[in-house]
Amino acid sequence: MKLTLGFSPCPNDTFIFDALIHHKIDTKGLDFEVEYQDVETLNLKAFQGDLDITKLSYHAFAYAVEDYELLDAGSALGFGVGPMLITKDPKLAKLLQQKLERAESLEGFDQLKVGYPGKYTTANFLLSLAFPELKNKVELVFSDIEGALLDGSIDLGLIIHENRFTYAEKGLHKVVDLGEYWEKTTKFPIPLGGIVVKRSLPKEVKETLNTILKESVEFAFANPKSGLEFIRAHAQEMSEEVMYKHIELYVNKYSVELGLEGRDAITRMFEKAQEMGFIPQSDQKLFLS
């Protein structure tokens, strides 16, 4: 049986899926037609139901939950792994840090232009929690945000993925790690992205998918250099050191299986987002049953 599968070209996703799509494990009769897209493109594809299985942001999952359910394997959750709000101006960084620490209004700063990687990204959800007044946003491909800060076309940038390893060397300054903000607020790991499957697929297919995805992650952990060339081919000229820092940051025990803590973190995120009116209400179960 051939299924359509979408995930990002980032090292954490290629690391996770390498064994699955290259049949380094037994895929139990399943084969895959793969699309590589940035996460916001995958989010939008999920809203259209274009793919059988896809990576998406947890924020976006709230808008696709009627058609998709979450696999237990393949997720990106963790501590100290969140998106970061950065700026070129160190004085602005310090001022916003102080306002966040004191829970002060951003009155007078609400026209700051923020470059962000997409409306439905978890990064945008977290930014809205920390700084709800920052609504003057311009959507950019995540890899273009640092450049937009450097050329002055935006005041603040919301960065994800490997950019957290490169912004400081470019003379940019951290305002806040939004993952740390979430952790202090909730005591839970931050849910960033997950792998979802169409509810309409047969139950046995969904269960098989979950099993082989878990085995793919376990294979990657046991053989971390097995997919090196595949990972490098999609890594946008990233050094091997940065590639594996990226993987270590985003691929962990929650990627093998969510467990109770992972499920509780995701449930809390949905509850918080619904309380604040960021996402629609739904009676659908989130997790593959």
pLDDT at 168 over 90: no
Average pLDDT over residues 193-220: 97
Q: Is 134 marked as binding a ligand?
A: no
55-64, 86-95, 132-141, 238-247: least confidently modelled range: 238-247
Q: Is 57 marked as binding a ligand?
A: yes
Cα 215 from Cα 148, distance rounded (Å):
40
Tell me: the pLDDT tens digits for 228-285? 999 999 987 678 888 888 899 889 999 999 999 999 999 999 998 888 888 888 889 9
Give the active site residue among 22, 23, 59, 161.
161
Between 280 and 15, the higher pLDDT residue: 15
Closest by CA to 83, choosing from 181, 224, 228, is 181
pLDDT at 167 over 90: no
Q: Is 122 marked as binding a ligand?
A: yes
Centre a 10 Å sphere on the Cβ of residue 272 and count the other Cβ atoms it contains.
17
Q: Is 92 marked as binding a ligand?
A: no
pLDDT at residue number 227: 94
Residue 22 exposure: Cα atoms within 13 Å on the Cβ side: 17
- DSSP secondary structure letters along 71-87: -SSS-EEESS---EEEE
CA angle 28, 191, 278 (to 5 degrees): 120
> Quick check: 107 and 162 in contact, CB under 8 A?
no
User: What domains does the chain contain, in order, with CATH numbers?
Assistant: 2-78+191-275 (3.40.190.10), 84-186 (3.40.190.10)
For the CA atoms of 194, 200, 205, 207, the dihedral, rounded to the nearest 10 degrees, stands at: 50
246 included as an active-site residue: no
Q: Is 64 marked as binding a ligand?
A: no
Structure tokens at 163: 């950019």
For the CA atoms of 275, 279, 284, 286, the dihedral, rounded to the nearest 10 degrees, stands at: -90
> Quick check: 7 and 54 in contact, CB under 8 A?
yes
Instruction: Calculate the CA 88 to chain-centre distance.
Output: 24
